[in-house]
Amino acid sequence: MPTDLRALREEGVLRVTWADSQSDFPLPFLRRQCECASCVNEWTGERILDPASVPDDIVIQKMDLVGSYAVRLEWSDGHNSGLFTWDRLRELSRKL
């Protein structure tokens, strides 16, 4: 579980601080990785979200912790149904 989560507007990243490291996720990258039911087909795993539809200057408007296992991000494109679990953020940090 992260020790800190911070949306840095100027840098355009979500900075996740872990006990042993730190990951800076570019915001458009993170938005395109959303796996909620409106971004990915739950049955086929096919991506519905067109990556090109995500503006490169997208920002996070709101972050809500969900229990102790995830964060829900509200984006400037109005999307707010995607959860990112800590496990998933860890996995994504290996793709940076």
Looking at 6-14, 28-36, 51-59, 83-91, which segment touches Zn ion (CB under 5 A)? 28-36
**Could you tell me which residues come within 8 angstroms of residue 67 by beta carbon, excluding any fewer than 6 positions away?**
none
Contacts with Zn ion in 68-87 (CB under 5 A)?
82
Q: How far is CA 59 from CA 42, 52, 93, in A?
A: 26, 16, 19
Q: Tell whether residue 39 is a contact of Zn ion (CB under 5 A).
A: yes
Q: Between 5 and 36, whose beta carbon lies closer to Zn ion?
A: 36
Q: Between 17 and 88, whose beta carbon lies closer to Zn ion?
A: 88
Q: Tell whether residue 12 is a contact of Zn ion (CB under 5 A).
A: no
Looking at 2-10, 29-37, 50-58, 69-77, which segment touches Zn ion (CB under 5 A)? 29-37
Q: Tell whether residue 36 is a contact of Zn ion (CB under 5 A).
A: yes
